[in-house]
């Protein structure tokens, strides 16, 4: 069975459902947000912040920290929920999402939100920023690693591949690119808009060590992140097969949930049922 098929079938545990409900509640408070793009990210970010990244919430500028960049900045609802849970800012701040006086905008902003390493959402920039950070950490002889999560539609951008070429040249084994491969971009299936296959071979040809994984399988994600770098002397690319809108039946693989301006009472009832909430 293909990884994309198992991503559709995998059952979410209680923690994953709880995180999704927080995302939806944040969306409801704001009246808008990229919910589909956030829901495909939950397990990737959950494992990174639970088990992989080295950070100090009370000292976000700690020099030895691992760096994380959400290049697909429109998926920030998932990142905000994790950052709040880890103590970078109070969870009550989530209810202010996208209000005029909130620190939490529709895309993450460095200097505004504790724990945000780069302002992103102008798609295609995150890997270039991560490349520079990874080079800097190596030059300063730090053990810090740099993780960049990219959307599959985003990697249509040529700047992504320019950064990949440079990362391969410099043999940056402290750089990890994670592709959220949900196969649906803002206005249609990736295969129709701009086919990416053979995606793994493309990354290998740019000098990356590559592994594919079910992006909703927590155990599989923990295992693959524990084996980094995938190959000494090479940057790593992890292709995470996911489902856009994962966890909400009406939202899964549905482009109308790429961005939501509001949720109806019927939609909220479906969401609460999917999350196990009465």
Residue 91, token pair as written in the block: 């969870």
CA-angle at 22, arms to 18 and 24, nearest 5°: 115
Percent of the chain with pLDDT over 90: 77
Domains: count for the chain: 1
User: Residue 181: beta bridge partners?
Assistant: 241
Task: Answer whether residue 278 shows pLDDT above 60.
Answer: no
Residues 6+ apart with CB under 8 A from 144: 54, 63, 64, 65, 66, 67, 137, 174
SS3 183: coil
For 81, other C-beta atoms within 10 Å of its C-beta total 25
Residue recorded with tokens 């030895």:
64
* pLDDT 10s digits, 162-180: 999 999 999 999 999 999 9
CATH of the domain at 40: 3.40.50.970
For 264, other C-beta atoms within 10 Å of its C-beta total 8
Helix ranges (H only) for 31-109 are 35-39, 42-47, 76-86
Cβ atoms of residues 82 and 19 within 8 Å: yes
* pLDDT 10s digits, 221-236: 999 999 999 999 999 9
Domain that holds residue 84: 3-274
- What is the average per-residue pLDDT within 243-258? 84
pTM, to two decimals: 0.94
Rounded Cα distance, 183 and 244, in Å? 8
Handedness of CA 112, 115, 117, 122 (dihedral sign): negative
Question: Which residue spans within the chain are E strands per DSSP?
Answer: 67-70, 146-151, 175-181, 184-185, 188-189, 209-214, 236-241
* pLDDT 10s digits, 109-143: 999 999 999 999 889 999 999 999 999 999 999 99
């Amino acid at each position: 069975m293909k990884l994309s098929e198992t991503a559709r079938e995998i059952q979410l545990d209680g923690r994953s459902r709880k995180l999704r409900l927080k995302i939806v509640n944040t969306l409801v408070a704001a009246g808008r947000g990229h919910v589909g793009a956030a829901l495909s990210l939950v397990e990737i970010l959950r494992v990174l912040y639970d088990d992989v990244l080295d950070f100090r919430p009370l000292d976000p500028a700690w020099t030895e920290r691992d760096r994380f960049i959400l290049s697909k900045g429109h998926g920030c609802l998932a990142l905000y929920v994790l950052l709040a849970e880890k103590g970078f800012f109070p969870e009550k701040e989530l209810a202010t999402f996208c209000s005029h006086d909130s620190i939490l905008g529709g895309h993450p902003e460095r200097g505004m939100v504790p724990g945000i390493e780069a302002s992103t959402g102008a798609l295609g920039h995150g890997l270039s920023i991560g490349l520079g950070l990874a080079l800097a950490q190596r030059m300063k002889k730090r053990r810090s690693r740099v993780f960049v999560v990219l959307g599959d539609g985003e990697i249509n951008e040529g700047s992504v591949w320019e950064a990949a070429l440079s990362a391969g040249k410099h043999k940056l084994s402290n750089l990890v690119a994670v592709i959220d491969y949900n196969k649906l971009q803002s206005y249609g299936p990736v295969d129709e808009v701009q086919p990416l296959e053979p995606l793994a071979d493309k990354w290998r040809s740019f000098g990356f060590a590559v592994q594919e994984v079910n992006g909703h399988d927590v155990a599989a994600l923990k295992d693959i992140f524990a084996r980094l770098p995938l190959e000494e002397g090479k940057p790593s690319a992890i292709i995470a097969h996911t489902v856009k809108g994962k966890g909400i039946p009406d939202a899964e693989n549905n482009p109308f949930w790429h961005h939501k301006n509001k949720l109806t009472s019927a939609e909220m009832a479906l969401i609460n049922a999917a999350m196990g909430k009465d």
